[in-house]
Amino acid sequence: MNAARESLARRWPALTFDLALLAVLLWVVWESTRPTFRGGHLIALVAGFAAALLLLVLVRALLAGQEPGLPIVAEEVAALAGAPAEGAAGASLPAWRHEWLAVGYTVALFALVYVLGTVLGCVAFVFGFLALHRPRGVLRNLMMALAVGALVPYLFGGPVGLHLWEGVIPTLIPGWIGGAPPPPL
Amino acid sequence: MVDAFWAGLERVLSAEVLLALLGGTVFGWIIGVLPGLGSLNALAIALPLSFYWPPVLAMYFFAGIIGAASQGGAITSILLNMPGEAQNAATMFDGHPLARQGKASWTLGISAGASVYGAFFGILVLVVLIPVFLPILLAFGPAEKFWVMVFGLVTLALSLQGDFWKGLVAVCVGILLTFIGIGGPGLVVERFTFGSSFLQDGLHLVAVVIGLLVVSESVAYLAMSVRGTTTARLVADLSHRRSFGAEVLDALRGLLVPFRYPATFLRGSVIGTAIGAIPGVGGTVAQFLSYNAAMSASKDPTSFGKGNPEGVVAAESAVNAKEGGTLLPTFLFGIPGNAEMALVLAAWQIHGIQAGPFFLERHADLAWALILGLFVANVIASLMTIGTVGLTSWVPRLDVGYMAPAVLVLVAISLVAIRGSVLDLGVGLLAGLLGFGLQRFGYPAIGTVIGFVLGGSIEQNYYTALQSARGSYAVFVASPISVVLLAATLLAPMVMLTLKLRRRAAPPLSRKRAG
C-alpha cells in the first residue's frame, strides 16, 4: 500500500500533465465537431487521434508505471558537469523546486519586460536574479546586468534598428523606456 | 542548378558574403564553446536580425553558425570534459583523456580535421543525391506530398528518444497549434482565436519555434543555475606548456590523423549523413552510433575511452557529416532534418520562401548558400580551433549562474525583436512553458516543433487533394507513390517497434570508460 502511494506521489505530476493534455485534446475534438464549426474536419481527426493515443499512454502508465521524462540538453550538460558547488543557495532544494523556481523566474522576466520595457526589464531581471543567487560581487552583478540587459538591447535597437518594446510604464526615455500603449489582444 | 552552383561559389568569395560567413562562424563557434548552449541558441538570437538582411546573406550567416557550433562544442569536450553541445558528448570519451596526456593541441587538430572532412562528405552526398531525387519529387501531387509529410512525421516519432506514442502525440500537438487563426478548407473562418485579433494571424512561427526549443532549454538552464551548478574545471595539465608554434604544429599534425583511420572516418561519415537525413534525429544519436560502431569494429575495443584518437575521429566525423544529411529532407520535402533546420525553415517562411520540390529550381541561390556556407564555415572554424590551441588556458571558469539569466534575456530580446510586439514575447513564453512541460513528462518537444512547421502544409495538401478529387478520399490511394508511402507509414512503426523489442531482449553491449 505504501509502495503504491509512493509510486503515485512520484507520478502525480506526470499524470496531471497527461490528464490536462487529454482534456485539451478532447475539448478541441468537441469544438471542431460542432455543427456550426466550419474550420474543416482535419482538426477533429488530428485531435481525436492524439487523444486516443494519449488514452493508451495513460492506461499503460496507470497499469505499469510512468516512464521517466526526457533529458533536456542543459540537464545532460549539468550531469556531466558534476555536483552543485558547495554552499550554493539552491543546492539544498529538491530538483523539482529548482524547476518551479526557474519557471517562476522566466515568467517574472517576461512580466518585467512587459511592464518596464525591454531594456529596464532585462537589467532588473539580471540584477535581481544575480542578487539572489550570486550575492557576492554587487558591482560585478551590476556590470553583468548592464552588459546583457542594456548593451545588447541597445545594439539590437540602435545600429540594427529593430524595434524593442518600451514598456507600459510612463515614458522615462522616449523610444527606449516607457510610454508604449498596451497592445490590443 | 549547375549554373547556380558556380554563381554560389563566386558569391562565396565576395566580401559581403565572407563577412556574413565569418560573423556567423565566430558567433556560432563562441556559443558552441559555452557549455549547455548550442547552435539553436545562436540561431534563435540571430533570427530576428535576418529579417533585415537579404535572404541569401542570412543563409550564409546561419550556415556559419551551424557549421561552427559543433566544432566549438568539441573544444570544451576535449579540454574541460564537458560538451559544449550534447552532440559533442562522445568526443569527451577519448578527447579528454588525450588532453590529460598532454596532447590537447593534437586532439583539437584531430577534431578539426574530422569535422571538415566529415562535413565535406555529407555535402558531397547531398549534391550527388539531389539530382537523383528531384525528378521523382516533381511527380508528387498534393496527395503524395501529404503522405510524404505524414511518413516523415511518423519516422520522426520513431526516431526520437522515449516513447513512440508520446512522440506521435507531441507531433499532433504541434500540428494542432497551426490551426489557430484564420483558415479552413473553403471560406476561411476564425479557428480557436477566442475573439482575439492578434490570434487571427495565427501563432508566429519564429516565436513558437524559439519558445518550444530555446525558451524551454533556457528554463532548464536557469534551473541549473538555481541549483548552484558551477563550471567544470580545466583539468588538462598545462604545467608543461610549449610555445605557441609547437602547439600549432601539433594541431596541424592532428589534421592528418583521420586519414590513418579511413574505415572509421568513412563509417562515421556515412552514419552521420544517413542519420541527418532522418527528420528530428540529432547529432547526438549520430555521434554515439558512430562511436559504438568504431569500438565494435576495433581490434582493441578496450582502448576506447582511454585516449584512442580513433574515438575522436568516429565522433566528430559523424556529427559534421550529418549537416549535409539534414539538408536533404529540408530542401526536397520541406521537412526539417533537425531543430536547426526548423529554424532555417522558419526564416525562409518569413521571407515568403516555401521549401519543397520546386525550392531548388526557384531558390537555388539559397540552397547553395547553405551548402557552400556549411563547408566554408567548417573550414574557418577548424582554422579558429587550430589558431587558438596555444591559448587553451583562456577558456574561463564559466559560472552557469551568470550565463543562464543572460541566455534567457537574449532569447527574450529576440522574441520581442521579431515584430516589435510584446505579444510575441507572450507566445514565446507560453510555447516555452509548453515545451518544458512536454520534455519533462516524456513528450519530445522537437516533435511538436516539426509538427508545427509542417502543419500548415499538411492541411493545405490534404484539402487540395480532396478538392481535386471532388471530396473523394480515394485520391489518397490513387497513385502508386501514395500507396507506397501509405504502406511505409503503416509498416515503419511495426518494423521499428519489433526491432526495439528484440533489442530490449538482447544483452547490452559493454563499454568501458576511463575514469
Out of B86, B440, B462, the one facing A76 most closely (by C-beta) is B86
The owner of cell 508528387 is B140
pLDDT reported for residue B231: 47
Task: Give the distance from residue B463's alpha carbon to the nearest chain A alpha carbon, in angstroms.
Answer: 9
Give tens-digit pLDDT for A138-161: 888 888 888 877 777 777 666 666
Give tens-digit pLDDT for A106-131: 999 999 999 998 889 999 999 998 88
Q: B409, A39: Cβ pair inside 8 Å?
A: no
- Say yes or no: ipTM exceeds 0.90: no
Residue A86 host element (H or E): none
Confidence of residue A75 (pLDDT cuts 50, 70, 90): very low
The series of mean pLDDT values per 10 residues for chain B, 515 residues long, is: 72 85 88 74 79 82 87 80 71 87 88 90 86 76 88 79 85 95 86 89 86 84 71 44 76 91 93 81 76 86 88 91 85 80 81 73 79 86 80 55 80 80 90 91 87 89 92 92 91 80 63 39
A154 exposed, middle or buried (CB, 10 Å; 0-12, 13-18, 19+)? middle
Handedness of CA B277, B279, B284, B289 (dihedral sign): negative
Task: Give the distance from residue A118's alpha carbon to the nearest chain B alpha carbon, in angstroms.
Answer: 7
Global confidence as pTM: 0.79
Out of B417, B432, B433, the one facing A164 most closely (by C-beta) is B417
Q: B413, A103: Cβ pair inside 8 Å?
A: no
Residues of A in contact with B280 (CB under 8 A): none
Q: B436, A183: Cβ pair inside 8 Å?
A: no
Q: B416, A31: Cβ pair inside 8 Å?
A: no
Residues of A in contact with B340 (CB under 8 A): none
From residue B440, how far is each of A99, B452, B478 by CA, in Å? 10, 19, 42
Q: B402, A144: Cβ pair inside 8 Å?
A: yes
Q: A39, B165: Cβ pair inside 8 Å?
A: no
Give B74-131 as a DSSP string: HHHHHHHSS-SSGGGHHHHHHHHHHIIIIIHHHHHHHHHHHHHHHHHHHHHHHHHHHH
Total Cβ atoms within 10 A of residue A15: 15
Which DSSP state fits A177?
B
Residue of B nearest to A83 (CA): B229
